[in-house]
Amino acid sequence: MSTITAPRVLSTRHASDLVLAALAPASWGTTYVVTTTLLPPDRPLLAATMRALPAGLVLLAFTRRLPKGSWWWKSAVLGMLNFGAFFPLIFFAAYRLPGGVASTIGSVQPLVVALLSLVVLQVRPARAVLLSALAGTGGVALLTLSSAARLDPLGIAAMLTATTLMATAIVLAKKWGRPESPLVMTGWQLTVGGVVLLPLTLLVEGVPAAITGTNLLGFAYLGIVGTALAYALWFRGIDRLQPTSLSLLGLTNPLVATLAGLLILGQTLTGWQLVGFTLALGALVAGQTLGSRK
C-alpha cells in the first residue's frame, strides 16, 4: 500500500510547492500596472524604499527574531542582492525601458541560475529545463517586444544587473539553507535593504511634496502583497525546489503583466503576441513537468 501512495503524496506536495512559489512572480507581474497607475511618477528610489522598509519592519515586529552568528552577514548579503540593489535597479529600468524589453531581459534569469548552479552548487540542470528556459525567453520576446521598442543602454544594463543579482541570491540561498522560517528571513532581508535605501532616497530624491491616498494604496499593495507575502513564498520555494526550476516560475511575471494590461489598461494582443503567450506558458509547464525534481 505504501509503495502505491507515496509517489502520489510526493507529487501532490511538489505541485503544491510549485503553485505557492509561482504566486510570488505572479504578484510581481502586477507591479508595472500598480507603479504606472498608483505611485508618484519618476521616483524609483522612493518606490524601492517604501516597498522594502515598512514591510521589513512589520515582519521583524511580528516574528521577533533576529539573525544569529554568520546569518548576520549572510542576511546582509542576501538583503542587498534581493532588495537593497535589486529594487532600485528594477524601478530604474522600468522608467527607462518599455515593459517588453525589461520582461524579455528578465526572462533569461533561469539560464543565469543554471550557470551559477553549475559553478556554485555543482548541479547540472536537466536538459528539458534549459530548453524550456530558452523557449520561455523566446515566448516572452514575442509577447512583449514591439518594433518600436526603445533600447536604452543604461536601462538594459540596469535590468541585466538586476536579473543577475536575483539569480545569485537564489543560488546562494540554496547553498546556505535557512536557519528560520521564510517569513522570518524575509523580514531580515527586507529590513537590510530598506535601511540601506532610506538615506540614499532622502539624499537623491528627497521627500515628495505630497503623498495622495492613491499613492498610499499603491505602496501598501506593493509592500504587503507584492513584497512581504510574495517573498516569503519565494524563499519557501528556494528551500523546497531546484534553483533552475524555481527561476522558471519567473515566466509567470510577464504572463500576469500581460493579463493585467488586457484587463486593467485595455490593451489587446496581436497574433504574434498570442503565439508568444502560448509558447511562454507551454515552456513554463513543460519545464516543471519534465525537468524539475526536488
Asked if the structure places residue 124 within a domain, the reply is: yes
Three-class DSSP labels, 186-216: HHHHHHHHHHHHHHHHHHHCCCCCCCCHHHH
Residue type, 105: I
202 and 147 Cβ atoms separated by less than 8 Å:
no
293 band by pLDDT with thresholds 50, 70 and 90 = very low
Residue 97, domain extent: 33-291
Asked if the structure places residue 9 within a domain, the reply is: no
Please tell me the predicted confidence (pLDDT) of residue 5: 40
Instruction: Look up cell 516543471; give the residue.
Output: 288
* Angular region, 152: left φ>0, alpha ψ -120 to 50, beta rest: beta
12 band by pLDDT with thresholds 50, 70 and 90 = confident
Instruction: Look up cell 500576469; give the residue.
Output: 256
pLDDT of residue 215 exceeding 80, the answer is yes
Asked if the structure places residue 273 within a domain, the reply is: yes
Round the average pLDDT of the chain to a whole number and report it: 83
Nearby residues of 30 by Cβ (< 8 Å), 6 or more positions away = 221, 226, 256, 257, 260
Average pLDDT over residues 258-281: 71
Asked if the structure places residue 17 within a domain, the reply is: no
pLDDT of residue 200 exceeding 90, the answer is yes
Asked if the structure places residue 39 within a domain, the reply is: yes
Please tell me the predicted confidence (pLDDT) of residue 133: 77
State the total domains in the chain.
1
Range scoring the smallest mean pLDDT among 65-79, 106-120, 212-226: 106-120
Asked if the structure places residue 18 within a domain, the reply is: no
**d(Cα 4, Cα 226) in Å, to the nearest integer?**
39
Please tell me the predicted confidence (pLDDT) of residue 227: 92
Average pLDDT over residues 18-30: 88
Average pLDDT over residues 82-101: 80
Instruction: Look up cell 522594502; give the residue.
Output: 52
Asked if the structure places residue 97 within a domain, the reply is: yes
Asked if the structure places residue 213 within a domain, the reply is: yes
Distances (CA, A) of 270 to 8, 145, 265, 275: 40, 11, 16, 9
More confident residue, 109 or 57: 57
pLDDT of residue 128 exceeding 70, the answer is yes
Please tell me the predicted confidence (pLDDT) of residue 11: 65
